[in-house]
Amino acid sequence: MSAARRERIGVGAMIRAGGRTASHYTGTVLGVFVVQALLAGAAGFGIAQVLGSEFAKRPRFDEAVSGDLTALVECIKHAPAAFKASFWIGVAAVLLWVVASWFLVGGVYAVAHERPEGKRETARCFGAGGASTFLVYVRLAVLASVLHLVVMVALVLGLGAAAERMTHALTLPGLLIPLLVGLLPAIVIGVYVWTAIDYARAELTVRRPTHDELGAFRALVRALVFVARRPVALGHAALGWLVFVVVTLGYVWAAQGHAMLGTGGAIALLVIRLGLSLVRFGVKFTVLAGQIELTETRPPPARRVVEQES
Amino acid sequence: MIGQWFPKIGVRTGEPGAETWACDPFHAWSEFFADFGVYDVELVVPDSFVVAATGVLVGAKDNGDHTRTLGYHAEDVHDFAWMADPEMEVMTGTAKVEGGDVEVRVYYRPEQEAFARRHLYAGIAAIEQFSAMYLPYPWPIMSIIDPPPDAAGGAGGMEYPTLVTTAADHAIARPGIHVPEYVTIHEVGHNWFQGMLASNEGREAWLDEGVNEYADAIVLAKLYGERGSLIDWMGWTAEDTHALRAAAAPMGEVPSPIGTVSWGFVDADAYGEATYLKTQAALRTLEMIVGRDPFRAAMRQYVHDFAFKHPTGRDFFASLQASLGGQDLSWFVQPAFYGIGGSQLSVRSAECTPKHDPRGVIGDGKQRKIITPELAPDGEAWACSVIISDTGTVPVPVDIELRFADGTSQTERWDHRDNGHWFPIRFERSSPLTEVEIDPKDEVLIDDDPVDNHLRLEPDPSASTRAGARAAFWTETAMQVFGL
């Protein structure tokens, strides 16, 4: 494939490439998903233990879980520490996953870039890719915290500006439109920042073997410029987020009014939730693989010329 | 909106021969205390304005200068308020009460039409229900003003005779979330507990607000069902009185009794919690103690006896006591209304073990025997022990329901008005105890932690497992947002 043809790559080609990678490396997709599901499951188990130790003998909690708002508030008032502990268990799991992601994303990018064949080679590529970029991804995350601060400022200012209209909204559009307008700056900046971080990671994976002087700061600056110049990168990432949000809201909407009690209900609910998470994870994996496709079209960073004394 | 403005007629209060004028200044947390009178009021307003006022419109004259003079007449009212707005529209309906129809008007801005319909329904229903429960609404009209949302904070949720302002119009107040209807019912209800029974709200705010709250909960339950009287939306439900109790601070943390003058509360939160919520909870608890039907009949008698008068707390309790056959209520009234705290019931412990002959080392010398579990096996009977405690300040007699593995149950009554703060229940039974529940109908509303009133002896982790599974899903969602 010539460089000129590669530069014309569009969202469709990125999605197709991502889909091809995801369907070719189903073992990798499922493997990483299982790790994620186990971590989330462990957090859920911990939360269940905390709540169970406080409420397993208190039938009022059964009513709270079954949709009695008053009972829920009463239970929170009765044992606030149990709910705080549950919250922090969830937060800890998310933070742990963020750290793990610095390794796992490197592995996914490496597999999507090198396209190894065979389980053993794929596992070697995944592990080596994740390990070789882990530290530079950590440095990237530290640098990107400044950009996250910008997103937070945009969020606070945007919501502050929308607060007055939202406080007096009479209709759902009257509530949601100011909310979305208020969130829009943070969403736009956030998607831009997160996409740039993704492309910085992708470039670090793709170019590190040949450009070992490429550091986190330079990769991030290059990615910020690249994403600003190539709207296709932003559109592709935004599409992924849109699918994520639509799928999640669709589940919330469909789940209303279905208590799904009993053993059969619990198993059905578990399967539905796992399926939904897997779909969202597949979308995310497809987006990451598509980003590699676009990154490979990027001109490599200039090499430092080292004059050798004769 | 013009309210709390008209010169007030002071009230002569006190025993005959020792009357004094009660003319307390206005206080932010309460209204003026005023006497009844007949009002004839003329308002000169721009002719493009829609006007609502206390009483009925008896005359309108065009002044030829783009103004109109409107005449209003109101009888047996203790306040006059009015509103003028160039953009309001009017929606009308009729409440059917004994003695005639009542025209109910809702004034609203066009963008609030959907909420105005809800307020009209609630207003009509409130008038009919309060009339049926206590005394027919005596005036021919009720005006409900639905202020624009940005004005509701200052003008919304206020009561005047024959005219009230409502509030809580908001996008999140979806049909099924009955908060806007609750506000309307509450304000319309004040036409009984303030409009007709004109207590001194500055000195005994609970007689207006809290007694009205108690009645509002009954009306809400009749209109929307007991379980979802306040919220019945997307599978979530909340009953009014229980929801308000749950949302309030624990009663032991409110440092002022219900019977405190409005300006004597430590802050607005304490005023609101004691005056509205704790009063409502105390009255619902008292209703449970004396019986629902006798209590409601006594409340009706109180309204009949003191309509168009200025009852005090003493009048209120004396009236209840007389209607309830002279039974002494002071053991409850004194600590609940004039003391702090409430009930603090809980199942302190409960255990049930199989009954068997004595085990261990028994006897001495040659008589010494070691009785092992094999020699004294478990019998078929169970020995059970339950301890109930109440560390609160108001000793409310309660039922305790004991449930057994064979599906049977047994109810014990604990009346601790004259004795201690804990109550042991020991018994033998052929089936083991599975659950203990104090106050199974959840009627002791001055106990603000009902969670520890119900205990099952064997843990059942199914609810916490469901909660954990739900938490796992949303944790994974957050992981997918912030991580890979």
Number of compact structural domains in chain A: 1
Q: Same domain for B328 and B354? A: no
Is A1 domain-assigned? no
Residue range(s) defining the domain that contains residue B164: 88-338
Picking from A296-300, B120-124, B193-197, which range would have the lowest pLDDT averaged per residue? A296-300
At residue A267, the pLDDT reads 82
Q: Are residues B110 and B149 in the same domain?
A: yes
> Is residue A8 predicted with pLDDT exceeding 80?
no
* Confidence label for A253 from pLDDT (cuts 50, 70 and 90): confident
pLDDT digits (tens, 9 = 90+) for A160-187: 999 999 999 999 999 999 999 999 999 9
A262-291 pLDDT, tens digit each = 677 778 888 899 999 999 999 999 999 999
Q: Does any CB of chain A come closer than 8 Å to the CB of residue B478?
A: yes
Could you please report the per-residue DSSP string of B373-401? TTTS---S-EEEEEEEEE-SSS---EEEE
Buried residues in A243-265 as b, exposed as e (16+ CB within 10 A): bbeeebeebeeebeeeeeeeeee
**Residue A176 in domain:** yes
pLDDT in tens, B70-91: 999 999 999 999 999 999 999 9
* B4 part of a folded domain: no
Cα–Cα distance, A240 to B438 (Å, whole number):
53
**A171 CB contacts (<8 Å, ≥6 apart)?**
B171
Closest C-alpha to B241, from B259, B232, B229: B229
Q: Is residue A268 part of a domain?
A: yes
| Closest Cβ–Cβ partner in A47, A69, A79 for B467 | A47
pLDDT band at A306 (very low <50, low <70, confident <90, very high): low
Residue B251 confidence class, pLDDT cut points 50, 70, 90 = confident
At B220, which CATH number?
1.10.390.10
Residue B221 is assigned to a structural domain of this protein: yes
Both B135 and B221 in a single domain? yes
pLDDT at B188 over 90: yes
Q: What is the pLDDT of residues A54-81, one digit of tens each?
A: 999 999 999 999 888 899 999 999 999 9
Q: Give the global pTM.
A: 0.85
Considering only CA atoms, which of B482, B411, B404 is closest in space to residue B440? B411
Inside any domain, residue A133: yes
| pLDDT tier at A1, thresholds 50, 70, 90 | very low
Whether residue B182 is found in the same domain as residue B308: yes
Same domain, B120 and B259: yes
Residue A2 has pLDDT above 50, yes or no: no
**Looking at chain B, which residue has its C-alpha nearest residue A52?**
B464
Q: Is B450 on the interface with A (CB under 8 A)?
A: yes
B337-351 pLDDT per residue, tens = 999 999 999 999 999
Q: Answer yes or no: is B49 within a domain.
A: no
Whether B417 maps to a domain, the answer reads yes
Q: Are residues B312 and B374 in the same domain?
A: no
State the CATH number of the domain containing residue B388: 2.60.40
B454 at interface of A, judged by CB pairs closer than 8 A: yes
CB A67 to CB B172 under 8 A? no
Closest to A57 (Cβ–Cβ): which among B247, B455, B483? B455
Reply yes or no on whether the pLDDT at A259 is more than 90: no
Lowest mean pLDDT across A191-195, A264-268, B126-130, B435-439: A264-268
Do B349 and B281 fall within a single domain? no
CB contact under 8 A, B235 and A51: no
Structural domain total, chain B:
2
Is it the case that residue A221 has pLDDT exceeding 90? yes
Of the residues A50, A68, A69, the best mutation for testing chain B's interface (the one with the most B CB atoms within 10 Å of its CB) is: A69
Can you give the pLDDT at residue A3? 46
d(CA B157, CA B186): 8
Chain B residues 368-427 with CB within 8 Å of chain A: none
Q: What is the pLDDT, as a whole number, of residue A260?
A: 65
Beta strands in B244-381 (DSSP E): 345-354, 360-362, 369-371
How close does chain B come to A40, measured CA to CA in Å? 5
Assess if residue B30 is contained within a domain: no
**Beta-carbon neighbour count of residue A173 at 10 Å?**
11
- Calculate the average pLDDT of chain B: 94
Residues of B in contact with A67 (CB under 8 A): 235-237
Interval B46-66: pLDDT, tens: 999 999 999 999 999 999 999
Q: Are B390 and B334 within one domain?
A: no
Q: What is the mean pLDDT of residues A18-35?
A: 95
Cβ contact B36:B76 at 8 Å = yes
Q: Grade residue B119 by pLDDT with cuts at 50, 70 and 90.
A: very high
**Looking at beta carbons, which residues of chain A come within 8 Å of B345?**
none
**Nearest CB to A48; choose among B150, B235, B461:** B461
pLDDT score for A66 = 86
Q: Tell me, yes or no, whether A81 lies in a domain.
A: yes
Size of interface A-B (CB pairs under 8 A): 193
- Residue A301 inside a domain? The answer is no
What the block records as the tokens of B168 is: 């809580």
- Residue A147 belongs to domain spanning: 11-295
Structure tokens at B145: 């003003």
In a domain, B77, yes or no: no
Residue A131 inside a domain? The answer is: yes
In a domain? residue A123: yes
- Provide the 10 A C-beta neighbour count for residue B450: 25
Q: Are residues B296 and B396 in the same domain?
A: no
- The pLDDT confidence band at residue A211, using thresholds 50, 70 and 90, is confident
Decide which of B213 and B363 is more confident: B213
| Residue A249: pLDDT band with limits 50, 70, 90 | very high
CA distance B157 to chain A (A): 16
Residue B421 has pLDDT above 70, yes or no: yes
| Long-range contact set of residues B222-230: C-beta below 8 Å, sequence gap at least 24 | B222/B129, B223/B122, B223/B125, B223/B129, B223/B181, B223/B185, B224/B178, B224/B181, B228/B176, B229/B178, B230/B178, B230/B179, B230/B182
